[in-house]
Structure formats: structure tokens, C-alpha cells
Amino acid sequence: MKNKKKTSILKVARVIRSKNSGPFELTLDIMFKERRYYQLFKEKKIITPAKIAHLYGISKAEVLKIVYFEPSQAIKITLRRKIPSGAPGDTDIYGAQQHAPLLYLTF
């Protein structure tokens, strides 16, 4: 790619969401509009634990796993919840509004 200008993930993603995966994990899904974008992200390893850690201001150890799911052309990222669901200090019991940092991702 000669064009060095970065592209927003919003140009290629159809769904970006977050949700609890049990009370101790937060899981983030990115589903792509087209298969080629999914392939691009997969091949170029655009999503890495380091990048997620940077976006969320957490350590890499708090990124449990990143899974590529072919049938949905989706990437799933699972994080440790800083505070388990409903424990004192929690801000989002269902974990449904923790996806926003992903929307700032460029590549």
C-alpha cells in the first residue's frame, strides 16, 4: 500500500461489540463487512495483544486470547475484567458498553 494514510476500522467493520463472557471476562467482537477485510486483518496480524493492551490501557497479560472465527468473518478478543461483574466499583454489569476504544483503531 503506497497510501500511508491510515484507514478507520469503521470503514471495514460491520459489528463491533462487547459483552461479558461470564462475570470475570469481557469479550469483544469485530465482524467485517467483507471477507477480504477479515483476511487482511488475519494475515497482517493487525489485532495483537499489544495493540489491544494499548487501546485499553491494560497489560498484555490481561488479554486472554484473540480468536479468528471464519464462519462469521470475525475476530474475538477476550479480556480480563478489571472488576468482576457487579463487584464494588464495577461500571458496566453486562459489559455491553466497553467496545468504544476499538472504534478508534486505524490500520
Contacting other proteins (CB under 8 A), which of 40, 42, 51, 92?
A: 92
Q: Does 2 bind other proteins (CB under 8 A)?
A: no
Q: Does 98 bind other proteins (CB under 8 A)?
A: yes
- Residue count, binding to other proteins (CB under 8 A): 44
**Amino acid code (one letter) for 94:** Y
Phi, psi of 60 (to 5 degrees): -60, -30
Buried b (16+ CB within 10 A) or exposed e, 47-77: bebebbbebbeeeeebbbebeeeeeebbbbb
Stretch of 5-13, 41-49, 56-64 contacting other proteins, by CB under 8 A: 56-64
Contacting other proteins (CB under 8 A), which of 24, 35, 39, 106?
A: 24
